[in-house]
Amino acid sequence: MIFGLEIKLILKSRKSRFRQRAINELTNKRFSPTLSLMYKTSKLSSGLRVLTAPCPGTDSVTALVFAGAGSRYEKESERGISHFLEHMFFKGGKKYKNTREVSVAIDGVGGDFNAFTGKEYAGYYVKVAAEHIDLGCDVLGDMLLNASFPQEDIERERGVIMEEERMYQDTPMYRAGWDFERLLLGNHPLGWDTIGKEKVIMSVGQKDFQLHKDLLYTPDNLVVSFSGNITEDKVMDLAEKYFGKIDGKKEREFTPFDSYGDDRIFLRTKNTEQAHLVIGVPGINALDDDYFTQKLLSIILGGNMSSRMFLNVREARGLCYYISTEDDTYLDAGSFATRAGVDQSRLYEAIEAIKNEYMQCAADGITDEELKRAKDFLKGKITLSLEDSEERAHFYGKQELMYPKVRTVDDYFAEVESVSKEKVNELASRLLKSEEMRLVVIGKEEDEAKLQILVNGGGG
């Protein structure tokens, strides 16, 4: 329901109450000095994993259901069904029979509810005042257990999905990111747009949605993550009551990623006010030992207003309004890229400037001061974000679903601190190679050959 884009940490700045440190560890329990539970994972008799992550200093509770059901689980003939299914869950179940009844229930208590579909997982959540969490789980459980996918709702929603797709087509800074993933990851489900293909969107029916749900929305492929003003006992009661009847066994695995695309340039000529570009390289995957190293490198290069890209490309040369460097990681692939919106007449200059920052970093490395600032920035943003019950439910729940182990905040910070300047420099020299560069441009530019020259030889 929330626009087919993978949710990332929403970095919200509030006065921090959360800085509790773990001092004991027993099985999968983490305790702070005040003995409040950091997180705990348990299982229902069905095998459904239930995670509790209390959030000190809040009066809200978030219940977030993660499913290993992202768009990379699709076949060519199904492209877009994962995202479309996410929309259809909100059309009602047995108790809350339609979108209006779902909305009225949550809106009536001032709550938030939404969903998201990424490449590797989907999520559905409600966030309410603590006293209304039973209602929130009732709505969420009814959707996931009893959605009937009425054909008349499917027909109406086709138009909604297509308008969403057009919205992204009309938003070049989004479209350029999707084009870059396709360029880098090739004709593999990881490289496909989450929104899908119009042919599929206009043809899938009730049976298709039910089959996809049965294949992937099963206890062994779901995690229900609770965070906020709530106890473990209450969580387990809610989970059993509202999600305990989910059954089945996962029957679909995704296609492993094997190689990055060979093409280096993608040009979408369009009459835009700005030229929008993404330039980057293959990165490391989410399970790589250098995961935190890459994250810090991206911050140093373009992660904030004191980064190299912002100061040297935007401030010193006035080449763009927005510019940022990001690393995206999947279980078996990754990307490292900088995106920017630039004056059409200075496109080449901007490409050269960004590439030059890459090449200089690869050749000369970073400074101790840059590394310290990046570590403090990352830890500070995580600390602020995790004051929100929604963000904490996401932080722990995603890890429980996707990764071999769940890192506590202390674990996470310890790994950030363990990254040395030498590790960052080694990774920069390994990743930031001219021969690995890929470039996407959306704008009035028509000369693809010139772009090829810039990427292959210029600016470095």
Q: Which residues are catalytic?
A: 86
Cα–Cα distance measured from residue 8 to residue 91, given in angstroms and rounded to the nearest whole number: 26
Strand pairing of 265-269 and 438-443? parallel
**Helices 206-216 and 151-169, axial angle in degrees (round to 10):** 80
Residue 313: count other Cβ atoms within 10 Å of its Cβ: 24
Side chain identity at 283, as an amino acid letter?
A: G
Cα–Cα distance measured from residue 277 to residue 271, given in angstroms and rounded to the nearest whole number: 14
Residues with Cβ within 8 Å of residue 459, at least 6 apart in sequence: 351, 352, 353, 354, 355, 356, 359
Cα–Cα distance measured from residue 165 to residue 193, given in angstroms and rounded to the nearest whole number: 10
Q: Which long-range contacts (CB under 8 A, 24 or more apart) does 360-364 make?
A: 361/297, 361/300, 361/301, 361/308, 361/428, 361/432, 362/428, 362/429, 362/431, 362/432, 362/433, 363/429
- 113 burial via Cβ count (<10 Å: 0-12, 13-18, 19+): buried
**Owner of token pair 């990352």:** 378
DSSP state at residue 422: H
